Chains A and B, each alone.
Chain A
């Protein structure tokens, strides 16, 4: 299995060929949204503990801040950061310049227009009513345009590559661009043509694959690039990475209906979704084994290599969250955890604990190189890791315990519903304080990168 792996090709003329203007714009705006939407996240966590908070201002009510939190974190922070990182490594893996930096900067500008538009639309209550697809139609159209601009730029770069063989990160990025196009169109346009259960089925296909076929492949592309890079070790197995990629391509899209287990949707479709959900273990475990086998023997680097800390703990969270996923889709487990607070615990481990950790690691690695300087503070970077790690674990673990307990209470109909709400109040308080720690980690991260960018002239002198 441990065949000689493909070394990541080095740039032709280091630090001269790539200007990285697009990557830099995407990363800076992503970090800005990470901070701003982090405040929104704290506000909605606080509303669980103090429901009257900001309660008489329509634009600041829970029902409007929550979609802003979800969309802002998914599209404003995570997807923008992921796109920025692919603009950085795809040209390097191909040994050529990015096809068009001008088109790239225009894409970054358009992306900012979309996110700012989303802030006003969602606070104003212009909500389409679909989870993850809340944005009104004009913004959906702009997202499609931006995505075509992004895809064209990267595909043209890959088509002109110098190295015949494509590294794993290239396939995953190409997969992301192609699948996202269809998944996004299904979730934001095709749903409008249907009603009821049919519409819900399309909506869940989108919701599941927004994570499974957008954030997963691009997140893995990032991890596949930065784990070997930041630990200075070759990837363990090229063949294993192919098994992971092609099984992901086939298996993920089948599982949408597991969001409606026990619900009003055909039983046979639920069963199909369950079977394929369990099969998700194949792509996940092949990826995780490959990552761990790559860093095997390099554990000493974990002591002071902050990007590697984020990457390895992100991999652990990926393993855990993708073990939970198939298990929740079993009917017996689902009857307890579905619709409870367990689910936000699970979702945050995937999007924050895994994919945001990968993106943060990539940003820490890229920032000094793209701006041709050194990181502002390694100590602060280490603090950002531990704040997010401790805050994240507090968040995930309390919500799992609370959610499981809540599910058990719901399944005993002699307990009045309101008692199951009151029982969760301590859980929500711990979640709020854990969220505060995570937010402090975001501040440390954002400040560190911004100080790196702003302070680079002083460094150059």
Chain B
């Protein structure tokens, strides 16, 4: 086969595509057929409202996802860091992300993971933090976002989205946030 592909235009093209498509189809088309949890929403997962979707679009537009992941991985440290007031967070599962498009799992954690941030900080905290992160978290390298804070509609939508993150699972015993 190798010698043939070396001489013939069509043989080399067909061989290159066949080899590519074996792995390509088995790893992209087949997995969602086997693992149904990729498409079945978690029991507590609600579709986004129009305002939350607007906030999500701002999260995408400003590239928040380049520095913040949204996945509590199957690592003890992740469950502790995503936890709240001494309670460890459950790990993220595929069924929590069924309504996400574009997905915001992220690849880089310059800032903390946000997969369970919903409900932890109130609107006033977010307002101060977006205006200048260093006012609340000395040493932070997050950029300031004055143009969002100064636009009440955008700010409200973004906070509405952030408060949904990680809420599909009911894991915190005392629901004392957002009061």
Contacts and interface: CB of A to CB of B under 8 A. Distances in A.
A436 interface: no
A125 interface: yes
A182 B37 CA distance: 27
A158 interface: yes
A253 B97 contact: no
A256 B105 CA distance: 14
A251 B23 contact: yes
Contact of A254 (B23, B60, B74, B96): B23
A158 B60 CA distance: 43
Contacts of B44: none
Interface centre among B19, B91, B137 (most CB of A within 10 A): B19
B77 A201 contact: no
B138 to A, nearest CB: 8
B152 interface: no
A265 B73 CA distance: 10
B144 A55 contact: yes
Interface in A318-356: 335, 338-340, 343-344
Contact of B7 (A159, A165, A250, A253): A165
Contacts of A249: 15-16, 19-20
Given A47-B143, A51-B142, A202-B28, A197 B103 contact: yes
A344 B66 CA distance: 12
B35 to A, nearest CB: 5
Most buried by A among B2, B38, B142: B38
Contact of B38 (A128, A196, A417): A196
Interface residues of B, number: 77
Contact of A127 (B19, B60, B67): B60
B27 A52 contact: no
Interface in A234-252: 239, 242, 246, 249-252
Would you call the interface of chain A mostly helix, strand, loop, or mixed?
A: helix
A260 B105 contact: yes
Contact of B16 (A178, A186, A197, A418): A178
Nearest to A267: B74
A456 interface: no
A432 interface: no
A340 B63 contact: no
B37 to A, nearest CB: 8
A264 interface: yes
Contact of A171 (B12, B23, B26, B66): B12
Contacts of B46: none
Interface stretch (A139-147, A374-382, A408-416): A408-416
Contact of B110 (A174, A194, A195, A421): A421
Nearest to A411: B77
Interface string B4-28: 0111010011011101101110111
A205 B101 contact: no
A47 B94 CA distance: 34
Please name the 4 residue pairs, one residue from A and one from B, whose CB atoms are nearest each other, closest first.
A63-B63, A129-B102, A413-B80, A196-B97
10 contacts: A125-B62, A126-B61, A195-B98, A196-B98, A196-B101, A197-B38, A198-B32, A201-B28, A266-B94, A339-B69
